[in-house]
Amino acid sequence: MPFRMHFGEDDLLRCRFAISPLWETQEAVRTLNRPKRQGYHPRWLRRIGAAAAELDLTSLWLLMPQRGHTPDWVGPPPIGPAATFEEEIARVRAADPEAALDDMAEALADTPGAAESPRGRALLADPARAVRELADLLETAWHRLIEPDWPRLRDLLEADVSFHSRRLAEVGLGGLLPELDPRFTWDAGTLTVEWKGEHIRELGGQGLVLMPSVFSWPDVVSGFDPPWQPTLAYPARGIGELWAEPSDRTPEALVRILGRGRATVLAALDEPATTTALAHRLSLAPSSVSAHLSALRGAGLLVSRRYGHQVLYERTPLGIALVSGGG
């Protein structure tokens, strides 16, 4: 049964893209408890395995039913296109305990026996304490599971936003939405999402937040009840290459032309990336990566563009042809 969102004229003008480190943290926690989500992330799972084992994530998992409601206040819609984790977790800490109580009760009701379990009863008995403890747990999960890899994750998410922003300009919202995911269809101002239940929402002038996500794959996540802004999270482009090591795939022919360092950087740019993210991914000094990027851009193999506070580099058609020919 579908989930339908009805757009008015004002809503069409208030659609935006956003990236959320808090959302990725929440969805990473969910992924740890759902094997079907783990297919693209074995390297990440091996790397964070020890850190994850030290965390007691039971309370968060209890509020993440296989089907049904997850409390909106735990992972609210992103503030803006590039909010920091610190800004987002502050909103979680500021959640109204009474509203949080209703939200948690709805989520617990979607898992048989959850509300009656010792942990469920504790959450409902003292919602103010639950808000504090769950915010602390999310912050710890961020630092241990996501923050070390955030430059890489952010680059992939920003590349998705950049690509789909260009497509929005080319084909309009009605053309873009079905491209984001095959489960989205658009007809006469109504977005229909293949869903597990029947739900209808009038956007009412709030517009829609479109949010690429790494860890929500293969699911699309939609909803957020009023007063939260309607948000649609979809799997980001390029997840299959996210954890690959680009240096392992540098064509030797390209190395002979450009040298090892520049060839490695050019081959790593399957998706647009920042200097910092490339340095982290390739285990190189940022100054070395910056020098290689400048040389490659000067040779017409890369272009750079600004996204918020970040400068992203991507291959030109010549750079793409050179990497492809080098393989």
pLDDT band at 310 (very low <50, low <70, confident <90, very high): confident
Q: Which helix (H) or strand (E) segment is 193 a member of?
A: strand 190-194
Q: How do residues 5-38 score in pLDDT, each as one tens digit?
A: 899 888 888 888 999 999 999 999 999 999 999 9
Burial of 79 from C-beta contacts in 10 A (0-12 / 13-18 / 19+): middle
Tokens of 150: 């955030």
**Mean pLDDT of the 240-253 span:** 70
Mean pLDDT check: name the lowest of 18-27, 85-94, 231-240: 231-240
> Residue 247: is its pLDDT beyond 60?
no
**Residue 268: predicted pLDDT:** 87
Cβ-based neighbours of 192, under 8 Å, separated by 6 or more: 2, 3, 4, 184, 185, 186
142 in helix, strand or coil? helix
Cβ atoms 218, 37 nearer than 8 A: yes
**Mean pLDDT of the 185-201 span:** 82
**Torsion angle, CA of 115/119/121/123, rounded to 10 degrees?**
-100
Q: Which residue in this structure is represented by tokens 């084992």?
A: 53
Model's pTM, two decimal places? 0.77
**Residue 194: predicted pLDDT:** 80
Distance CA 327, CA 324 (A): 5
Mean pLDDT of the chain: 88
Amino acid sitting at position 260: R
Give the residue extent of every domain in the chain: 2-17+152-239, 21-149, 244-326
**Mean pLDDT of the 158-164 span:** 86
Distance CA 105, CA 71 (A): 9
> Residue 188: is its pLDDT beyond 90?
no
Tokens of 280: 């982290």
Question: Interhelix angle for 127-141 vs 85-93, to 10°?
Answer: 170
Cβ atoms 48, 24 nearer than 8 A: no
Fold (topology level) of 244-326: Arc Repressor Mutant, subunit A (1.10.10)
Amino acid sitting at position 253: A
Cα atoms in the Cβ-side hemisphere of radius 13 Å centred on 208: 26
Q: Output the CA angle 2-34-217, nearest 5 degrees.
A: 55
Q: Output the CA angle 277-242-303, nearest 5 degrees.
A: 50
Contacts of the segment 312-317: beta carbons below 8 A, 24+ positions apart: 312/155, 312/158, 312/159, 312/162, 312/272, 312/273, 312/274, 313/269, 313/272, 313/273, 313/274, 313/275, 313/278, 314/159, 314/269, 314/271, 314/272, 314/273, 315/266, 315/269
| H-only helix segments in the chain | 9-12, 21-32, 42-53, 58-62, 85-93, 97-109, 118-125, 127-141, 150-180, 252-258, 260-268, 275-282, 286-298, 317-326
| DSSP category for residue 283 | T
Mean pLDDT check: name the lowest of 54-68, 69-83, 109-123: 69-83
Cβ atoms 279, 152 nearer than 8 A: no
Q: Residues for the chain: how many in total?
A: 327
**Residue 245: predicted pLDDT:** 65
**Residue 224: predicted pLDDT:** 67
